[in-house]
Structure 1
Amino acid sequence: MAQVAALAGVSGQTVSRVVNDSPRVDPATRSRVERAMAELGYRPHLAARTLRTGRSQTIGLVVTTLATVGNSRMLQATAEAAEERGYALTVVTAAGTDGVSRAFQRLADQGVDGAVVLNEASALVPASERPTALRLVVVDAADDTELRVVHSDHAGGAALATTRLLELGHATVHHLAGPEDSFAAAERERGWRETLDVAGIRPSRVVRGDWSADSGYAAAGALDAASAIFCANDQMALGLLRALADGGRRVPEDVAVIGFDDVPDAANYRPPLTTIRQDFTALAHRAVEALVADIEGDADAGAGGVIPTALIERASHAPR
């Protein structure tokens, strides 16, 4: 650092400010310091910085599985959000409450500054053992916890889908739901139920899947009387579409189908799938923003919150 300062003609403190991206350096001086760093091949010593600041510039991601589309997309978006803020990402998979407790301890032992907990793992956090110094933000959990929570507007998105199908003249809307222990599935089911209740329609019995396309295919037999179906995710909708086609039922002429998530392939389903778009990028950025604000002691930023969803209309729904 002293060599960089000498070459750039500045103080060591100015070099430190540039390295730590302080706004208290004018652009011309910053450029001169960065040129000197490049010429000398200077890189900050991360281990030394950790000792000095008490922060490792690393955050964890705790997840039960990366096999689902939502979790894999959240991993990608979280990694990008962390990198933009100068943090590395450590991923830990865990099963069950004990597994999540061990994941937290392992992250604490590695010296991470905090962790984002995804979806299914979020439900296990209240019963888990957590190191007191490990800061957490949980994605997809009830707001009435002591933790910072970020989630999509699952119920609002379900209401949009259900309302649209009722507007098209369908007498009711059936629901292919996700797993019972999923916060997202429960919220999407709640949005569907409440919309039917407001319309004076008694909800039909829920048919439940496990988020996979195979479970959507298997559920078709229990939905043979439906003219409109709201699926809790696009993967189950994909399996349902194939099962309906195998059974000789046309979509959308005989059955209208709306999914949830807007996966990248949804526009290439047959027919192209009408769905509720969940903004995984915004969700991950909000979670990382909240966590980094907590780590860096910024009391005025980084609140959790609810990320809006939107109805994306394609070709899988039509009037009855």
Structure 2
Amino acid sequence: MMAVARLAGVSHQTVSRVINSPDTVRPETRERVEEAIRELGYVRNLAARSLITQQTALLGVVWTGSGYVGPSSTVAGIEVAARAAGYATLVAALENPDDDEVAQVFKGFRDRGVEGIAIVAPHDRMARLARECSIGIPTVLVADTDPTDGCQVVTVDQRLGGHLATAHLIERGCQRIAHISGPLDWFDARARVAGWRDALVEAGLPVPEVIVGDWSAESGYAAARQMLAEADLPDAVFCGNDATALGLMAGLRDAGVEVPGQVSVVGYDDSIGAAFFAPPLTTVAQPFTELGGACLEVLVAAITGDAPALTQLAPQLRERRSVR
């Protein structure tokens, strides 16, 4: 920095202002300093800057569910938003961690001076561990759950999504609507079940027992075989995600059951390729990019001051050709 100051004929304090608060420096002075920076190839030392400002521009991101569209797309959205805002991210992917492993990750974040933590916690256990370990650091929980002290929540309204899918089937004349959920320890799975049930009750339709899956195409295929074995095909099936819908349609197709001619199907996530299923899948789209941006915005607000306790985004129905 001193070399830049000498070449530009200014103080090192002026160079610092050009780098960190350029709007406070006169244009002609700023241009002179910027030219010196380019000529010398100066790169600011963020580690040294953090010693002075106590700001590291580092955020921690903890997540689980790497094999699933929702969590992985959400993390990608957070990272894109963080880079755009000038933050670097330290990312820890945890699959079935024990308490000590989670505690170690958060200790590592503290040791590196992260300013805030975003936690993509799709199920109960991860949310509990994250809340216990993140005390004292601004934290945003990406989960369809209630806010708690010290933890802001950013989420997509999954209950609304379940309602949208089911109401669409009802509007198309379906009256016997089954649901294949995800694992019921996942927040999203329970909320989508609730939305499905809400829509059926509002319409005065029977509420059958939920078929519990595991988000996989295999569980959708198994559900199709179960329905066929019981000789009790519904008018329609709302699937907890697109992978489950893909498996369900394959199982029905193998048995000669037409989709949507005999059974209508709606998925969830609008995952890559859903428009190219056979038939193209009607599904509920989640705004993952916006979710990442909202998470970053709330986290920065929590770092710098007050942040809203709950930020909820709305999903949207994508109509294609899997509903008659």
After TM superposition, is the score higher than 0.5?
A: yes
Correspondence for 1:306: 312
Counterpart residue type for residue 298 of structure 2: A
Structure 1 residue ranges without an equivalent (≥5): none
Same amino acid, percent of matched pairs: 42
- Is the 1:216–1:238 contact (alpha carbons within 8 Å) kept by the matching residues of 2? yes
- Is the 2:123–2:185 contact (alpha carbons within 8 Å) kept by the matching residues of 1? no
Residue 48 in 1 paired to residue 48 in 2? Answer: yes
Distance, in Å, in 1 between the alignment partners of 2:28 and 2:245 is 56
Correspondence for 1:75: 75
Question: What is the CA-CA distance between 1:26 and the residue it aligns to?
Answer: 5.7
Within the candidate set 266, 274, 299, 1:258 is matched to 266
* Residue aligned with 2:207, SS: coil
- Is the 2:235–2:263 contact (alpha carbons within 8 Å) kept by the matching residues of 1? yes
Correspondence for 2:157: 153
Correspondence for 2:248: 240
Report the TM-score, using the length of structure 1 for normalisation. 0.91
Question: What is the CA-CA distance between 1:11 and the residue it aligns to?
Answer: 4.3
Within the candidate set 235, 238, 242, 1:227 is matched to 235
Structure 2 residue ranges without an equivalent (≥5): none
- Is the 1:123–1:141 contact (alpha carbons within 8 Å) kept by the matching residues of 2? no
Correspondence for 1:173: 177
In 2 relative to 1, CA 191–28 (structure 1 residues): closer, same or farther, beyond 3 Å? farther
Q: Is the deviation greater in 282-291 or in 51-60?
A: 51-60
Distance, in Å, in 1 between the alignment partners of 2:308 and 2:42 is 32
Within the candidate set 253, 257, 260, 1:249 is matched to 257
Distance, in Å, in 2 between the alignment partners of 1:144 and 1:294 is 13
Q: Deviations over 1:191-245 (max 9, x none)?
A: 1111111111221110111111111111212344112111111111111111111
Counterpart residue type for residue 245 of structure 1: R
In 2 relative to 1, CA 317–116 (structure 1 residues): closer, same or farther, beyond 3 Å? same
Question: What is the CA-CA distance between 1:304 and the residue it aligns to?
Answer: 4.4
Q: CA RMSD in A?
A: 2.1
In 2 relative to 1, CA 157–31 (structure 1 residues): closer, same or farther, beyond 3 Å? farther
Distance, in Å, in 2 between the alignment partners of 1:311 and 1:92 is 32
Number of matched residues?
A: 316
Residue 112 in 1 paired to residue 118 in 2? Answer: no
* Residue aligned with 2:89, SS: strand
Distance, in Å, in 2 between the alignment partners of 1:20 and 1:41 is 17
Question: Superposed, which structure 2 residues align to 1:119-138 within 5 Å?
Answer: 119-120=121-122, 123-127=125-129, 129-138=132-141
- Is the 2:242–2:269 contact (alpha carbons within 8 Å) kept by the matching residues of 1? yes
Correspondence for 1:3: 3
In 2 relative to 1, CA 21–272 (structure 1 residues): closer, same or farther, beyond 3 Å? farther
Report the TM-score, using the length of structure 2 for normalisation. 0.90
Counterpart residue type for residue 135 of structure 1: P
Counterpart residue type for residue 17 of structure 2: R
